[in-house]
Structure 1
Amino acid sequence: MAVSTTAVLSLLLVACFCCDVFLPSLASSSEENFVACLSEKIPGELLYTQSSSGFLSVLTASVQNARFATNATVRPACIVTASDVAHVQDAVWCGRRHGVRLRVRSGGHDYEGLSYRSVRAEVFAVLDLARLRDVRVSPGEASAWVDSGATLGELYYAVGMASPTLAFPGGACPTVGVGGFLSGGGIGLMMRKFGTGADNVLDAKIVNADGVLLDRAAMGEDLFWAIRGGGGESFGVVVSWKLKLSVVPRTVTVVNTDRTFDESTAAVLAKWETLAIRPFLPDLTIRAVVQGNNTVFQTLFLGSCSQLISKMDAFFPELGTTAADCREMSWVRAMAFIVLSSKDVNVPLEGMLSRTNNLSGYVKNKSDYVRCAVGKAGWERVYREHLSRNGALMMIMEPHGGVVGSVIADSATPYPHRRGVLYNIQYVTYWCCAADGGAAEAAAGLINGLYGFMEPLVSSNPREAFVNYRDLDIGQNAVGDDGVTTYESGRVWGEKYFMGNFRRLATVKGKVDPGDYFRNEQSIPPLLAV
């Protein structure tokens, strides 16, 4: 049975929570002293301890995956909902003084929940940046300062209200936090034209491990390089970013093409794979989403419908796009249409300002990069042996090529998946209830089966992965006898995310945070100079 376009697109935003109980963290004098230190510096209404009546609601306010609200999750000693940069500095200072680490959260979309939970039993606190959410657009210089706690939806709305011809090359989920998006590099719908989100960062302000606020000039180019895609919670707390905005036409075109999977759809996917290697089509992005026997091609073209049809007739006639399929609108309205609705071209722009979480299911994600086309026969096998058997499996594919793949060097930022990459794959499986003890195991079997099947079809040595789609299955840090994360344990997963850039990231970490204060299960380990 085919799944509708609306159903598939709505599932892209599904990541949820059920009301299970968190395990208490380990009480200690360091924890008590840490909370006392915070209480002296930060207003009481911004500090939530485990005994606070609002603790659980604040902790889950931006949780986007229910499986981390289960009894296997260690909860923080307290939550600091900073409303000023000084509160961030105070939290770092108190944490360093009393030996309590911080986990930093902006939007809460991290796929392993590492910004608000710990896999191991330890005392830690959550520094929640949701109150730091200002967006200040300067249309005259085509730039914007945006706080890390703002969402992509809030950024898009502010840019669109400031100018009809300015845009930012971000992703397709409006509730993703800007801080997390940029910290992981940030792939999105216009990167073929303008590069990743992190490629468009001009400046930033970071609170380092000493609690000192630094801008680009003060932090130096090595650290500035590292924070633009080197993963969150490794180098400090980035509190705001200065972004280069992109100039776009007043009218862009969007098309959603919904096809039931059959032999012809496999041929269309095979042809779609080849578009990424065409450097002369940077204005055109076609995102493919496959679930069950349904495939949705989401097209964003930076130009008019007539221009799009001309290009599609020339390069991708197999998709069958016609003028009747086109929806012409401004860029900001196009983003609202893409991220909020697949039907209503007049969907209110204010919908992008919503910060609600999703509290109805469980999700597991994995990722890959494709450098050689899967081809028609390969897609037929993917569908026949995996996708057709269960509608709870989804593949979301983001085309690379263009500027991100052939203009910007692999080492320009920590995001290395550029030259030679056709597209990124995000695998998604979801299930409903914690009470169903076999549901999680069954879902893991589905996604691991598909991931295993894809191994010979995707990149290798290393098998690349995207840090913004964190996956603890590919490796976790180990702590050495000196109390810091070991470089060798980090390499296991780090070279999959960062490839040849991993060692440079570890070297930067060794310079700015040699004591490894900012860390989680997949943070960059410090590589210390001998």
Structure 2
Amino acid sequence: MVFPNNSDEVVSALTICHKHKVPVAIRSGIGHSYIGQSTVNNGVVLNMQRLKGFDVSGVGQYIVKMGAGLDTIEVYTLMGLHDPPLAFPGGSHATVGIAGYFSGGGQSVLGPKYGVAVDRLVAADVVVYDKPSGAFKVVKATLSEGYEDLLFAVRGGMGGNYAVVLNFYYEAYPATRVLFSSGSMNNYVVGTYATRVREYMKFMADESTPADFGSTLLFRSTTNMSLSYYYSLCLCSPDGDCSVCDEVTSRFRKRTGTTDPTFFLPDTEEMSLVRAQWTQMNCGSVYPSKGVRHASEAEIQAAMDLCRYIGTHSLDLHWVQMNYYYPDNLSLGDVTTMVDGILGETCYKSGCRQSIVPYTHKMLDEPQDCRRDPGEKCTSFDHRSRGFNIEHAIYYKPGEVLSEVAYPWLVDMSEALKPISLNTKYQNYMEDTSTRTEWISQFFPHKGTYERLQAVKRKYNYIDIFDIDGVRNFSVEV
């Protein structure tokens, strides 16, 4: 494993690996890829975790330069430390690296307000292989001032294909206070639970539900317990008035019936955005008591380390998963089919999980901010339909043979749910059972997206230095 400290060392490492025909895997966080993209046998892992630069330029329009080695908890905290505090629509796992997050688009609870993460990505510093000179070099991929095709690929085209990103440039908004809310629905009779899930989906998909209100609905079961709960973040007005959020959250809770306490998240509480983002990662209990703006650097670092530990050790479980995008008009029968799978006997014995992420408002808008040919898109993220991304997973024990219980359950779920889905999938949730024909059309359903990504790879990585056994099936073909 190689830990470069700067761009020159990245270039040197890639040059040596190419000379000796050694495959390279890139890692920015601790390695969250379901199919093992950030690991390699008989090769080199290029670990970017020392590239943690963070700088904000501009007043009014805040362009945040983020090193590729930053993880989610660091970005949230650094955004919160800025004056004024800034907003970033990241995920709910502290240890996910932002490079991997960006590479798949980046869905989040703030998506209805800010879009998917790549929508506000305006540039990137990238190491590419320059074919004319036969050498690696650093370039800046931009919206309209050079290497626009490369930025298109960086904005959701899957990582480990085109180049090595050193820095991301993200256009951030000033953060407001938020109303954080959570609740559970502890009735697991199939009909009752399906009705409540459908009410959740109808409320979130309704165009009258404001973009300032975002929510995720989760289900977790083990052999010892079951719990279904939501959390929501509602962005208050710039002057701190949360009255609209109070009203929307109350309507949501009343309609969905998710009012039982979770016991580990606040029911409803106004707080800073950075604290709310720590809280959604189940790290509210270790958030600095003074707030990050008044805590010492040592106190912040200790709290972040505890948050990372919570995320990686609180539930020592392994799982395999499948996901689909779904339309916004699922019937009660459709939802019952879905619920029946996670409340069935197999999940009762093994344990299962489900997460429902709504796609509404700004997430549906393809950015128009780049220089491009007529008819072309600015991002390679193709999932812009109103509806939901829903992930289903089943737990397994170390050493358990997946073909005996886990994979058959996934096959049954997929066969049951595919007819009611859009048959498209989120490219950050890769499934090791997918064929190339399946994932190309499921990750990149828009006509021309995959072909443009192929052209980018041929131009900047025709040597295919990231060609790794085990995940080769999921690489963009040169």
Within 5 Å, give how 1:333-482 maps onto structure 2.
Answer: 333-341=275-283, 350=300, 351-353=303-305, 355-356=308-309, 358=312, 360-389=316-345, 390-391=347-348, 392-406=351-365, 408=367, 411-418=377-384, 420-434=385-399, 437-438=400-401, 441-459=404-422, 463-475=423-435
> 1:246 is paired with a residue of what secondary structure?
strand
Q: CA deviation at 1:345?
A: 7.8
Q: Which has the higher helix share?
A: 1
Distance in 2 of aligned mates of 1:386 and 1:430: 12
> 1:175 is paired with a residue of what secondary structure?
coil
Distance in 2 of aligned mates of 1:194 and 1:285: 11
Q: CA offsets per residue over residues 498-523 of structure 1, 9 Å max, x none?
A: 12211111122122222323334212
Aligned residues of 2:214 and 2:234 also touching (Cα < 8 A)? yes
Distance in 2 of aligned mates of 1:112 and 1:439: 14
The reply to whether residue 130 of structure 1 matches residue 49 of structure 2 is yes
Task: Name the CA shift for 1:344/1:306 in 2 (closer, same or farther; >3 Å).
Answer: farther
Q: CA offsets per residue over residues 184-232 of structure 1, 9 Å max, x none?
A: 1111121111111111112111111232011125851011111111111
> 2:270 is paired with a residue of what secondary structure?
strand
Q: CA deviation at 1:428?
A: 2.0
Aligned residue in 2 for 1:239: 166
> 2:166 is paired with a residue of what secondary structure?
strand
Task: Name the CA shift for 1:345/1:432 in 2 (closer, same or farther; >3 Å).
Answer: same
Task: Name the CA shift for 1:130/1:117 in 2 (closer, same or farther; >3 Å).
Answer: same
Matched length = 423
Return the structure number with greater relative CO, CA threshold 8 A, min gap 6: 2
Q: CA deviation at 1:378?
A: 2.8
Q: State the one-letter code of the partner of 1:91.
A: A
Q: CA offsets per residue over residues 8-51 of structure 1, 9 Å max, x none?
A: xxxxxxxxxxxxxxxxxxxxxxxxxxxxxxxxxxxxxxxxxxxx
Q: CA offsets per residue over residues 333-368 of structure 1, 9 Å max, x none?
A: 101111134778877763345555837442212221
Q: CA offsets per residue over residues 229-267 of structure 1, 9 Å max, x none?
A: 111111110011111112232x20111111123444322
The reply to whether residue 102 of structure 1 matches residue 60 of structure 2 is no
Q: CA deviation at 1:313?
A: 5.2
Aligned residue in 1 for 2:150: 223
* Corresponding residue to 2:70 among 143, 150, 154: 150
Aligned residues of 1:82 and 1:131 also touching (Cα < 8 A)? yes
The reply to whether residue 276 of structure 1 matches residue 242 of structure 2 is no
Q: State the one-letter code of the partner of 1:326.
A: T
> 1:113 is paired with a residue of what secondary structure?
coil
Gapped regions of structure 1 (runs ≥ 5)? 1-78, 476-489
Within 5 Å, give how 1:282-293 maps onto structure 2.
Answer: 282-292=211-221
> 1:271 is paired with a residue of what secondary structure?
helix
> 1:516 is paired with a residue of what secondary structure?
coil
Aligned residues of 2:72 and 2:98 also touching (Cα < 8 A)? yes
Aligned residues of 1:393 and 1:446 also touching (Cα < 8 A)? no
Task: Name the CA shift for 1:201/1:153 in 2 (closer, same or farther; >3 Å).
Answer: same
Aligned residue in 2 for 1:212: 137
Distance in 1 of aligned mates of 2:58 and 2:76: 13
Distance in 2 of aligned mates of 1:182 and 1:452: 30
Q: CA deviation at 1:297?
A: 1.4
Aligned residue in 2 for 1:493: 439
Task: Name the CA shift for 1:366/1:174 in 2 (closer, same or farther; >3 Å).
Answer: same
Distance in 2 of aligned mates of 1:472 and 1:440: 13
Q: State the one-letter code of the partner of 2:102.
A: L
Distance in 2 of aligned mates of 1:197 and 1:207: 21
Normalised to the residue count of structure 2, the TM-score between the two structures is 0.81
Please, what is the CA RMSD of the aligned residues? 2.7
Aligned residues of 2:153 and 2:379 also touching (Cα < 8 A)? yes
Q: CA deviation at 1:376?
A: 2.4
Aligned residues of 1:279 and 1:401 also touching (Cα < 8 A)? no
Task: Name the CA shift for 1:280/1:412 in 2 (closer, same or farther; >3 Å).
Answer: farther
Task: Name the CA shift for 1:240/1:452 in 2 (closer, same or farther; >3 Å).
Answer: same
Task: Name the CA shift for 1:320/1:309 in 2 (closer, same or farther; >3 Å).
Answer: farther
Distance in 2 of aligned mates of 1:313 and 1:256: 11
Deviates more, 1:216-225 or 1:154-163: 216-225
Aligned residue in 1 for 2:373: none
Gapped regions of structure 2 (runs ≥ 5)? 130-134, 293-299, 369-375
Q: State the one-letter code of the partner of 1:458.
A: S
Distance in 1 of aligned mates of 2:206 and 2:33: 30
Distance in 2 of aligned mates of 1:321 and 1:439: 34
Normalised to the residue count of structure 1, the TM-score between the two structures is 0.74
Aligned residues of 2:185 and 2:258 also touching (Cα < 8 A)? no
Q: CA deviation at 1:104?
A: 0.6
Q: CA deviation at 1:280?
A: 5.6
Aligned residue in 1 for 2:451: 503
Q: CA offsets per residue over residues 32-86 of structure 1, 9 Å max, x none?
A: xxxxxxxxxxxxxxxxxxxxxxxxxxxxxxxxxxxxxxxxxxxxxxx11112221
Task: Name the CA shift for 1:516/1:344 in 2 (closer, same or farther; >3 Å).
Answer: closer
Task: Name the CA shift for 1:439/1:232 in 2 (closer, same or farther; >3 Å).
Answer: closer
Distance in 2 of aligned mates of 1:259 and 1:172: 21
Aligned residue in 1 for 2:461: 513
**Identical amino acids, percent of aligned pairs:** 23
> 1:150 is paired with a residue of what secondary structure?
coil
Distance in 2 of aligned mates of 1:243 and 1:340: 26
Distance in 2 of aligned mates of 1:204 and 1:191: 21
Q: CA offsets per residue over residues 383-436 of structure 1, 9 Å max, x none?
A: 334424224111111111101114647933111001x230111222222221xx
Q: CA offsets per residue over residues 440-459 of structure 1, 9 Å max, x none?
A: 63222223322222111211
Distance in 2 of aligned mates of 1:319 and 1:99: 56
The reply to whether residue 92 of structure 1 matches residue 14 of structure 2 is yes
> 2:417 is paired with a residue of what secondary structure?
helix
Aligned residue in 2 for 1:311: 248
Aligned residue in 2 for 1:3: none
Aligned residues of 2:112 and 2:362 also touching (Cα < 8 A)? yes
Distance in 2 of aligned mates of 1:443 and 1:291: 16
Deviates more, 1:220-229 or 1:274-283: 274-283
